[in-house]
């Protein structure tokens, strides 16, 4: 098996789709079974978030039309008809938007279902195009492949919107898929929980879908195809003279991804690391460039800064208490509150009187209600200040 994950930009134009078909053919020629995992068309997940917001006020029709038009335009450009399945997803979306308008609120469960529709729609087009190109391709619902794990302590919201999945090698799945068509194609970003309900893996989570499948299938490798030719020393869109990092080890890639380099979702490293599956990053527009390879031995030794990363949308919680100096147990009590509220702490800084922690939106499904609950509980221990949204700038490297 080889798992090929294509991001939003990679699946939004005819020229990119020609390259996708080329990569799939090349893997078949290598004697590998390709599993294609892809995202929604670029910008569609944001549009669906907008659709949810507009549904509450009743003014969702223009957004819905934009979503429909994007998919119809791409189908037309690719020379394939708008299939009945794609139309059904649009009808479902309209029903859900009407329901939200009628009730005047949106549950996390419904939010997950609405946002999952982007991937469902895009992959209908992807499968139809690859079939049109003469490939023997089968569309699979990712919710039958990836199952969310029970996470003690995680909030209900996090379980719907930022779930994690089990990824042990799965011989039954390997057998089932081996009996299928020569190319399998499925959605990133979505999975199902133990009740069979739709859950999301967090924004940008399609990379992690690819990684889970690579682990479950014990794939030869995981290839992440995106809109830049690899992982760079900084975001190449912000820093034009950033350098391509040709080889990294899993821990370096993990640190760079966790510090905000959006090119890899931070949760996509662990599954491939655990089963020593090489991960590579490539540019769909320029498939000839070698890109970045991440393996257990990829890191070059020596102390040096490997990357400068930025991360936005961070919330700081500053805890201030005069009595903290030389006091025993304050940090224990304070961190217990974060645990109780199912919130994962990212960075920590302390001084004599203040402890400040950061909450990463990628790890925590934070909303006003969740923050309010946290502040109420912490206020019993100290004075609390919420600061945000903030940005973090990180230098990542060995022994620095």
Binding-site ranges for Mg ion (CB under 5 A): 7, 204
Residue from the set 123, 133, 184, 205 that interacts with ligand ASP by CB under 6 A: 205
The stretches of the chain forming alpha helices (DSSP H) are: 14-29, 44-57, 61-78, 84-103, 108-132, 156-161, 171-178, 206-216, 250-258, 269-274, 330-340, 368-378
Query: Which of Mg ion, ligand ASP, ligand ADP, none does residue 229 bind to, with CB < 5 to 8 Å depending on kind?
Result: none
Residue 366 DSSP SS3: coil
Strand 292-295 to strand 183-187: parallel, antiparallel, or no bridges (unpaired)?
A: unpaired
CA distances from 15 to 183, 195, 220, 284, 391 (A): 20, 40, 27, 9, 35
Residue from the set 1, 2, 8, 116 that interacts with ligand ADP by CB under 6 A: 8
Closer residue to ligand ASP, CB minimum distance, 187 or 247:
187
Residue from the set 17, 189, 212, 232 that interacts with ligand ASP by CB under 6 A: 189
Distance from C-alpha of 370 to C-alpha of 380, rounded to nearest angstrom? 17
Residue from the set 9, 16, 39, 162 that interacts with ligand ASP by CB under 6 A: 39
Closer residue to ligand ADP, CB minimum distance, 201 or 343:
201
Strand 137-140 to strand 183-187: parallel, antiparallel, or no bridges (unpaired)?
A: parallel
Query: Which of Mg ion, ligand ADP, ligand ASP, none does residue 261 bind to, with CB < 5 to 8 Å depending on kind?
Result: ligand ADP
What's the gap between Cα 128 and its chain centre? 24
Least distance to ligand ASP from the beta carbon of 234, Å?
A: 21
Closer residue to ligand ASP, CB minimum distance, 281 or 334:
281
Residue from the set 12, 27, 124, 188 that interacts with ligand ASP by CB under 6 A: 188
Q: Does the protein bind ligand ADP through residue 306 (CB under 6 A)?
A: no
**Largest interatomic CA distance in the chain:** 72
End-to-end CA distance of the chain: 38
Mask for 98-127, x = binds ligand ASP (CB under 6 A): --------------------x---------
CB 55 within 8 A of CB 204: no
Q: Does the protein bind ligand ADP through residue 211 (CB under 6 A)?
A: no
Query: Which of ligand ADP, ligand ASP, Mg ion, none does residue 188 bind to, with CB < 5 to 8 Å depending on kind?
Result: ligand ASP
Least distance to ligand ASP from the beta carbon of 42, Å?
A: 8
Burial zone of 93 (CB within 10 Å; 0-12 exposed, 13-18 middle, 19+ buried): buried
Q: Does the protein bind ligand ADP through residue 262 (CB under 6 A)?
A: yes
């Amino acid at each position: 098996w080889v798992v090929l994950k294509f991001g939003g930009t990679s699946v939004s134009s005819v020229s990119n789709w020609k390259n996708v078909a080329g990569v799939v053919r090349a893997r078949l020629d290598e004697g590998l079974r390709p599993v294609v995992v892809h995202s929604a068309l670029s910008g569609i997940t944001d549009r669906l978030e907008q659709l949810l917001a507009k549904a509450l006020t009743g003014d969702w029709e223009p957004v819905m039309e934009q979503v429909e038009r994007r998919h119809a335009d791409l189908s037309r450009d690719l020379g394939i008809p708008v299939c009945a399945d794609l139309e059904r997803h649009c009808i479902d979306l309209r029903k859900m938007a009407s329901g939200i308008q009628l009730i005047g609120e949106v549950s996390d469960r419904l939010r997950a279902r609405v946002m999952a529709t982007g991937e469902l729609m895009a992959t209908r087009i992807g499968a139809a195009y690859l079939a049109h190109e003469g490939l023997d391709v089968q569309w699979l619902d990712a919710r039958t492949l990836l199952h969310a794990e029970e996470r003690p302590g995680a909030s209900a919201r996090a379980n719907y919107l930022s779930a994690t999945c089990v990824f042990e090698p799965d011989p039954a799945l390997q057998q089932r898929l081996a009996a299928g068509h020569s190319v399998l194609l499925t959605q990133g970003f979505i999975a199902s929980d133990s009740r069979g309900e739709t859950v999301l893996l967090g924004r940008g989570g399609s990379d992690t879908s690819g990684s889970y499948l690579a682990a479950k299938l014990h794939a030869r490798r995981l290839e992440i195809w995106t809109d830049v030719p690899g992982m760079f020393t900084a975001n190449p869109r912000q820093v034009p003279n950033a350098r391509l990092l040709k080889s990294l080890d899993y821990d370096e890639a993990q640190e760079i991804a966790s510090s905000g380099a959006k090119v890899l979702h931070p949760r996509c490293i662990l599954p491939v690391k655990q089963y020593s599956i090489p991960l590579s990053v490539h540019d769909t527009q320029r498939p000839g460039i070698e890109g970045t390879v991440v393996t257990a031995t990829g890191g070059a030794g020596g102390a040096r800064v490997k990357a400068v990363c930025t991360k936005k949308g961070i919330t700081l919680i500053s805890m201030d208490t005069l009595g903290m100096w030389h006091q025993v147990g304050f940090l224990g009590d304070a961190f217990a509150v974060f645990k109780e509220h199912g919130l994962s702490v990212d960075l920590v800084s302390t001084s004599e009187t203040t402890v400040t922690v950061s909450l990463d939106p990628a790890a925590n499904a934070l909303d006003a209600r969740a923050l309010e609950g946290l502040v109420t509980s912490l206020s019993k221990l100290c004075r609390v200040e919420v600061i945000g949204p903030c940005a973090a700038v990180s230098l990542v490297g060995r022994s620095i």
